[in-house]
Amino acid sequence: MKTRKLGKGGLEVSELGFGCMGLSFPNAPTKEESIILIRSAVEHGITFFDTAQGYGKNELLVGEALEPLRKEVIIATKFGFKDGNVRFGLDSRPETIKAVAEASLKRLRTDVIDLFYQHRPDPNVPAEDVAGTVKDLIQEGKVKYFGLSEPTAENIKKAHAVLPITAVQSEYSMFYREPENEIIPILDQLGIGFVPFSPLGKGFLTGTIHANTIFEETDSRNFSPRFNKENREANQSLVDLIVAIAADKNITPAQIALGWLLAQQKFIVPIPGTSKLRRLQENTDAVNVILTTDELSKINSALSQIKITGERYPIQAQQTTGKK
């Protein structure tokens, strides 16, 4: 697998990363199975792994899985919620950031965090103070690079003026293209990498979900307005488009969705997650997808005619975390 550079500080990662959050969800594989999966990702050429304090016991899992391979990989984690619990609200006070860094180092079984993101902007803490605190951690040798997750353009400008941002993480896919309006242009301007999470639209872009799909009771998509039956039916035209393109190229819809993302900018590194080895192979094969300029133009033209309906998160989650 080829590599890509995030930011101007020299951080080089595999062109496709691995989002580990889902391995701590209900109905996730066992710990032993998850460790095998993470290590298999390394065997497939993935060197970039994403976790967070707010993902339950996920840092412990990632730390155990990657400890024998630590010199071969880049680990990103995040701070920014009270007691590491998304439901408790935001907390990016300097003292909290430093405490989280110490705790994450122990859980990850490492002496340095490669990429440390603020999980969500905290309206009670200036972006400059957040950047300054991470700058202190970098000077102490506990962190290497600084990132922001789902920031506004203004957050990016203010934080970057204090400490160069290496990467910004936000949702981005054919299913959610909002970052194209402000975020991607400013990242291009400032030389900051972009790490899209949910690059397969939480599974919607794989072509395996339709209006009559029934999710398991514990599936988080049950609580997303975007995934209610009416919106799935309204958004089916997007899936139909991707399935048709994939059939023409004799590859899978997921590979088209990831290949499209990789073709948008050289500083984009998607982090799809999966709990299945066969999906891991499918995802990593997407780095070999070649979309010509003409094909991309036709895809983007078709996408511009499709209106996606449904919010990403329920109102309660928007109020707690600022996510929409």
The CATH code of the domain that includes 88 is 3.20.20.100
How far apart CA 297 and CA 68 sit, in angstroms, is: 44
pLDDT value, residue 319: 44
pLDDT beyond 60 at 315: no
Q: Residue 67, Cβ neighbours under 10 Å: how many?
A: 11
The answer to whether residue 205 is domain-embedded is no
Half-sphere exposure for 299 (CA within 13 Å, toward CB): 24
What value does the mean pLDDT take over residues 3-24? 97
The question of whether 55 is a catalytic residue gets the answer yes
Whole-number pLDDT of residue 80: 97
In a domain, 170, yes or no: yes
Q: Cα separation of 119 and 148, whole Å?
A: 7
Distances (CA, A) of 262 to 56, 149, 184, 191, 195: 30, 19, 13, 17, 11
Amino acid at 315: I
Q: Residue 240 domain-assigned?
A: no
In a domain, 298, yes or no: no
Q: For residues 144 and 112, is the Cβ–Cβ distance under 8 A?
A: yes
What number of H helices and E strands is found in the chain? Answer: 12, 9
Residue 211 lies in a domain: no
Q: Determine the angle formed by the axes of helices 277-285 and 253-264, rounding to 10 degrees.
A: 40
Residue 67 pLDDT = 98
User: Does 219 map to a domain?
Assistant: no
Q: Among candidates 268, 239, 236, 242, which has minimal Cα distance to 255?
A: 242
For 266-286, how does the pLDDT look when each residue is reduced to its tens digit (9 = 90+)?
Answer: 999 999 999 999 999 999 999
Whether the per-residue pLDDT at 324 is higher than 60: the answer is no
Average pLDDT estimate for 49-58? 96
Among 196, 202, 200, 237, CA closest to 220: 202
**What is the identity of the amino acid at 81?**
F
Q: What is the pLDDT of residue 87?
A: 86
Q: CA 77: distance to chain centroid?
A: 11
Active-site residue, selected from the candidate residues 55, 145, 176, 313: 55
Coil, strand or helix at 281: helix
Q: What CA–CA distance (Å, rounded) separates 261 from 239?
A: 16
pLDDT tens digits, one per residue of 174-225: 999 999 999 999 999 999 999 999 999 998 999 888 888 888 887 888 888 8
Q: What is the pLDDT of residues 85-138, one digit of tens each?
A: 888 999 999 999 999 999 999 999 999 999 999 999 999 999 999 999 999 999
* DSSP conformation class of 118: E
The domain total for the chain is 1
Mean pLDDT of the chain: 93
Contacts of 262 (CB under 8 A, 6+ apart): 15, 16, 268, 270, 286, 287, 289
Residue 21's pLDDT band (boundaries 50, 70, 90)?
very high
Structural domain contains residue 173: yes
Is residue 305 a part of any domain in this protein? Answer: no
Relative to beta strand 18-19, strand 48-50 is parallel
Find the domain containing 278 and state its range.
3-200+254-289
First-residue to last-residue Cα distance in the chain: 34
